[in-house]
Amino acid sequence: MLRASAAAETAGIPTVSLVCEGFVGQANTTAVGLGLSGMQLAMVPGHVDVQSAEELRRNVVNATVDAVIKGLTGETNGAVSTEPQPAPADIVFSGSFEEVNRFFYENEWSDGLPLVPPTIEKVREFLRFTERAPDESLGVVPPDNRSATLWSIAVNGVMAGCRPEYMPILVALADAMADPSYGVEHSGNTPGAETLIILNGPIIKQLGFNYEQGVLRDGFQANTSVGRFWRLYLRNIAGFLPHKTDKGTFGNTWRVVLAENEDALAAIRWEPCCADFGFSAGDNTVTISRYTGGDVIASVHGENAERVMPYLADAVAKQIGWELAFTVGMANASQRPLLILSPIIAKTIAASGWSRRDVKQYLFDRARIPASKFELYIAKWTHLLPENRTLVDYVNTGRAPRVFAESSDPARMVPIVGRAEDFMLAVSGDPLRTNAYAFVHNGILGYPVCKPIRLPDKWEELLQEAKRI
C-alpha cells in the first residue's frame, strides 16, 4: 500500500495510506527509505482480522476517517527525522573491542552477538578477493533503499566473522538479495520467515563448508558466519530492524548455510540444486529462498523408492498450510517447498532408477490434500482470499491449472504446488542416517533466486595465502 502511495505522491497525487495500528512505525520508517518522510497515514486501531464488522466500522468512523480527511487537506503527520550517514570509509568510532561492540549495538548495527570490528585494514583484506571496485553497486535494496556496494559487503562480512576468502560468496549473496525476483522488501513480513542459503560447487570443499552430519547446525565457521552475514546485511543495508521495519510476529534467527553433498550427487548421477536454475554440476552458485518453517522427517524406512517415497510425500504435504495461497490465489505457482534428503535416502531412491525429476513428479502426484482443506487454508481460516471462492472458480477464470478442478468433489485430492518442477530438492546431511527435512516456502515473499559465484583470476594464489593466515 505504501509503495502505491509513494508512486502516486511522486506523480503529484496526494494520498493517505491506511495502516493497521501495529504497522504505523514500519510505515513511517519505510516512507523515509522511499525518500518521502512524512507521508500521510491513517491508522486503523487494532487488527482487522479479529474484529467484527461492527467493531471495524466503529474504529474506522471514530479514528480512521478523521485521519484521512486531515491527510488530504494538508495537515501532516510530521516528517520522520533522519541523521546524515557517514561516508563508506569514515571512521565512526574508536575504542576497545567491548566499546566498539557497545557502540554498534546502541546504533542498531549489531544482532546482539559480539561483532568483529570492521577496521579499514580488515575491509581491504576482503576486497582483495574481488576484482570489482569498492564503490560498485549491485543494486538498491529496500526498504531503506541503500546501495549494495562491494565496500558494504566487505564491512558486514568482517562484522559477521567471515574470513576474507568468503568474499566471492558474499558478493553473490548481495547480488541475489538485490534481485527484484527475490523480493527482499518482504523480509519483515509478519510470519517471520527466514532465508536459507544453498551452496553448490567446488568452493564448498575449498573453503571448508560442512555438508555432512549436522549440516544445518552451527559450529563450522564457513556455514555459520556466511549465514550470519545475510542477516546483518538485511539489517544494515536493507534496513530491517526488529520493532520497526521487521514485523515478524515471532521470527527466526539466521540460518547457517546448507551446502549440498556433491560427492553423493555425483555417485548417484543426480544434478545439484542449482541445475533447476540453469547451472551445471561444477558451477559455484548460491541459491536463496525464504521459508516460514520446516521439520525433520525422521527414520525413513524402506529398501527402495517405492517404500520410502510415500512417507516423504505424506510429510511434505502435512507441513504446508496458509502458504497454499501462493499455489493458487495470491500468486499462482509461486509456492516452492524444499525437501532435503540425506545421502543414504537419495542413494536408495536412485538405486530404484529414479531421477530428481521422478522424485518431484511423485511428490506432485502424491503429496496432496483434500480440496476442501485447501480451500479452508486459503479462504475460510484466513483472509487471504475471498471466502466464497472455490478452487473450481479459480480454474474456470483461468487463475489455476486444470488439475485443481478435475471434479467438483470437495474430497478430491489436489496438489500443494502448481507444477511438479515447483518442488525443490537437495541432498545433504549425515551420509548414513535415514532422515530428511521439509521446508515450507514463503511464495512470492522470498522467491528462489540462484546466482553464480565469480572468483578472481588469482583465486588459487589468494586462497593459498589465506590458508597460511
Q: For the chain, give the secondary structure using H, E and C.
A: CHHHHHHHHHCCCCCCEEEEHHHHHHHHHHHHHCCCCCCCEEEECCCHHHCCHHHHHHHHHHHHHHHHHHHHCCCCCCCCCCCCCCCCCCCCCCCCHHHHHHHHHHCCCCCCCCCCCCCHHHHHHHHCCCCCCCCCEEEEECCCCEEEEHHHHHHHHHHHCCCHHHHHHHHHHHHHHHCCCCCHHHCCCCCCCEEEEEEECCHHHHCCCCCCCCCCCCCCHHHHHHHHHHHHHHHHHHCCCECCCECCCCCCCCCCCEECCHHHHHHHCCCCHHHHHCCCCCCCEEEEEEEEEEEEECCCCCCCHHHHHHHHHHHHHHHCCHHHHHCCCCCCCCCCCEEEECHHHHHHHHCCCCCHHHHHHHHHHHCEEEHHHHHHHHHHCCCCCCCCCCHHHHHHCCCCCHHHHCCCCCCCEEECCCCHHHCEEEECCCCCCCCEEEEEECCCCCCCEEEECCCCCCHHHHHHHHHCC
Neighbours of 3 (CB within 10 A): 14
Q: What is the pLDDT of residue 78?
A: 45
- pLDDT 10s digits, 248-263: 999 988 999 999 999 9
Q: What is the mean pLDDT of residues 91-104?
A: 96
Asked if the model's pLDDT at residue 27 lies above 70, the reply is no
Looking at residue 6, what is its pLDDT?
Answer: 65
Range scoring the smallest mean pLDDT among 38-52, 136-150, 183-197, 257-271: 38-52
**pLDDT band, very low/low/confident/very high, at 36 (cuts 50, 70, 90):** low
Q: What was the pLDDT predicted at 249? A: 93
> Residues 378-391: what's their mean pLDDT?
90
Mean pLDDT throughout 61-68? 72
The pLDDT assigned to 42 comes to 79
**Which residues make beta-bridge pairs with 200?**
285
Query: How much is the pLDDT for 80?
Result: 47
pLDDT higher than 60, residue 134: yes
With beta carbons less than 8 A apart as the criterion, state whether 187 and 241 touch.
no
Query: C-alpha cell of 256?
Result: 547457517
Mean pLDDT of the chain: 91
pLDDT at 48: 63
Residue type for 308, please?
A: V
pLDDT given at position 79? 46
Question: 79-89 pLDDT, tens per residue?
Answer: 444 567 788 88
Amino acid identity at 248:
G
pLDDT tens string 304-342:
999 999 999 999 999 999 999 999 999 889 999 999 999
Q: How far apart are CA 254 and CA 228, in angstroms?
A: 6
pLDDT at 18: 80
Query: What are the residues facing 258 on neighbouring strands?
Result: 198
User: For the chain, what percent of residues have pLDDT higher than 90?
Assistant: 77
Residue 26 pLDDT: 56
C-alpha cell at 70: 486531515
pLDDT of residue 71: 72
All three cell numbers of 445: 515473499
pLDDT of residue 395: 96
Q: What is the pLDDT of residues 394-451, one digit of tens each?
A: 999 999 999 999 999 999 999 999 999 999 999 999 999 999 999 999 999 999 999 9
pTM value is 0.91
Q: Where are the domains of the chain?
A: 2-72, 85-185+220-233, 191-216+255-452
